[in-house]
Amino acid sequence: MSKAIDQLVDELPSSGMTVRVLGLLDFAAPGQWQNTTGFDNTIRYVTGESDAGFIGQVRQRALTLYADPNEGYQRAVSIYQMVDSAGGKVGLASMAHMLGEKVGILSFLSKLTPKEDQAQTVDLGLKLVAEMVAFCYTNGFPGDSISDFMGAVKSYEKENLIRLCGIAVFDGLIPLGPDYAQKLMDSASGWSVDDLAKSPIYKGIQGVVPGGEALPFVKSGLGAFHSYLSSFASDRGITLDKVLDQMRGVIDFSEGKFDLLAAFLDISTNYMEHTGIQSVSRSLIQRAAGEI
């Protein structure tokens, strides 16, 4: 553990590209997310209490819980951090491939990097699996408890919900189009270890998936997710046109260059880490307050 949870929350930015693009998703989850920063401020927000003594007690208990290696909070945060760090590498690789295809002098890059659709599909699938594992660790479920996660994800709210919207929009809809869920499932059914080994996210997931057999777990997890993911966007009124309308004026992008937009979002945002830290801190604070 490099930093305590209060330091992580205190260091969350109140502005910047990550905060701006998350705010654009409010139409899909109205009023669910607010960018709460500062650990004491988060305690006040989550508990509704303002007494300094109570806030101090909750802070201390939350820090103790987070520091306990037998709890899953640190592991969950590390997963969210790993995914965003690796996702940036995926974005750079995709952008390098596009440059290699479109700029003659850089053509060698297209031979060194994966095709955009392939990389983005793997990226989407592995981010969903990482979300599943991190949620289980945060909430005290066994890390391989796919059924428990699927029972809970339908009730996602606040930071959890806005993060799932981000995965669906930034890693699904924008790079892969409206049928991103079906593209993912069609692709995932044929994945091999060699296919996934090219992904920086897969290399990180191997270390946190229970049992160490990442490929079977990935396929099983995505199989369980398929039905919910297929209707997620339509249930929330998420369309590509609506998303792009929200983004105009915040991000300068060319029509039809959605692969570049997706790569840019991978490189320039860390929305999973940002909201993941907020989710873990909320869970810690709720538990700590309940124990006092």
Instruction: Encode pLDDT of 211-270 as tens digits.
Output: 666 888 888 889 998 889 989 999 999 999 999 888 887 776 656 667 778 888 888 899
Q: Distance between CA 142 and CA 217 in Å, rounded?
A: 13
Instruction: Encode pLDDT of 179-216 as tens digits.
Output: 999 999 999 888 888 888 888 888 887 877 766 668 88
Contact call for residues 205 and 222 (beta carbons, < 8 A): no
| Extents of the domains making up the chain | 5-291
Q: What is the pLDDT of residue 254?
A: 58
Q: Distance between CA 43 and CA 177 in Å, rounded?
A: 39
Structure-token match 């109140």, residue found: 14
Q: 107: pLDDT confidence band, cut at 50, 70 and 90? A: very low
Instruction: Encode pLDDT of 40-95 as tens digits.
Output: 999 999 999 999 999 999 999 999 999 999 999 999 999 999 998 875 455 455 54
Q: What is the pLDDT of residue 246?
A: 86
DSSP string, 196-244: HHT-HHHHHHTTTSTTS-HHHHHHHHHHHHHHHHHHHHHHTT--HHHHH
Q: What is the pLDDT of residue 106?
A: 38
What average pLDDT is seen over the chain?
85
Instruction: Encode pLDDT of 147-172 as tens digits.
Output: 888 889 999 999 999 999 999 999 99
Rounded percentage of the chain residues whose pLDDT exceeds 90? 55
Q: Rounded to two decimals, what is the model's pTM?
A: 0.88
